[in-house]
Structure 1
């Protein structure tokens, strides 16, 4: 009897743990799927290619106060980008339409990707 109860409790805990690991719908809600109205209003697209511990450019430029589609392309490894202090994060091979005021912002990898993770830093110059 105790074995059956222990098995039942273990299975219940497993089901709850798997349900908790389900996708976070809020994480992708602000990302623009292809063909969405937000994507259509973007004036240009900036593609950020991420590879093993590096972005393809040390600096990216975009116009101020203008919607721009930022696209993260993981060419090697699993990476994400965060624009520091702006609450903007893109994970995986996804896009997001963003509008920023003039300034210089730091972009860094937001997914721990290995020993060179801390070196994955670039600039976004908005003018």
Structure 2
């Protein structure tokens, strides 16, 4: 096989592998950022991997019958070239990762929240049922939806403090709207994980961990505990349903009126209205 044909096959393989790494349709801005970062890293890793493998195969084939190998001679130009190329690649990976990890919807911190809208942030307080617990981060807008996720052995309670609503089997949020999830635990460490939406955060007793998301695709997604928490760990399952804004408001009104819930696609939700929970003044 001549070098021209080998080069064509190599380019074909690279093209097919890059096409296979195209990110799938993301259901949230969180997942979109994660998939995009993974794709960028693969675009760099795949050509490097193929180049190394081609050099390895060529070297084995080229010198397989060499019974008198000679020491490698110094080549400063080659050494400088691969050192500079490695530095450029690492710089690209570092910047790409930092850009994603510094985004508030991936790593929400008090500093990042305050940096978005300092004045608005000072006027808002997180809406939670345990204001004495630390860690809850206030939203950067009054339009954001806040939900408290209270984990326990072995189940969940999804609380909407401002609406006076809770649910034990289904977390419902509106699509295309900022949602802040204040996560805590009653007993041991748990972890909220919704793979399809790119959400994962520990639930720690006595404190809150807040994550932000904007879901873009209405639908029902699997939510489960990702931290082993005892013999009933595998039973900690729930649905996370993303609804258009009008349907979400209708669901909230339905829970407040105490009527039978039917938000879940399979009708398994078991939500009920509760007395409004006093939240910190906004």
User: Structure 1: how far apart are the matches of 2:241 and 2:170?
Assistant: 7
User: Structure 1: how far apart are the matches of 2:197 and 2:240?
Assistant: 12
User: Structure 2: how far apart are the matches of 1:122 and 1:34?
Assistant: 28
TM alignment of 1:1-127, pairs within 5 A: 30-34=106-110, 36=113, 37=116, 39-41=139-141, 43-56=144-157, 57-92=168-203, 93-100=208-215, 101-127=217-243
**Number of residues paired by the alignment?**
100
Contact 1:81–1:89 (CA under 8 A) maintained in structure 2: yes
Three-state SS of the structure 1 residue aligned to 2:180 is strand
How does the TM-score come out when normalised to structure 1? 0.70
Structure 1 gaps, min length 5: 1-25
- RMSD over equivalenced CA pairs, Å: 2.0
Structure 2 gaps, min length 5: 1-100, 118-138, 158-167, 244-282
| Greater strand fraction, Structure 1 or Structure 2 | 1
- State the Cα distance separating 1:72 from its structure 2 match: 1.0
| Greater helix fraction, Structure 1 or Structure 2 | 2
Encode CA deviations 1:69-109: one digit per residue, 9 max, x unaligned: 01211111110100132221011331111011211111100
Contact 1:81–1:91 (CA under 8 A) maintained in structure 2: yes
Choose 1 or 2 for highest CA Rg: 2
Contact 1:31–1:94 (CA under 8 A) maintained in structure 2: no
Three-state SS of the structure 1 residue aligned to 2:196 is coil
How does the TM-score come out when normalised to structure 2? 0.33
Match of 2:98 in 1: none
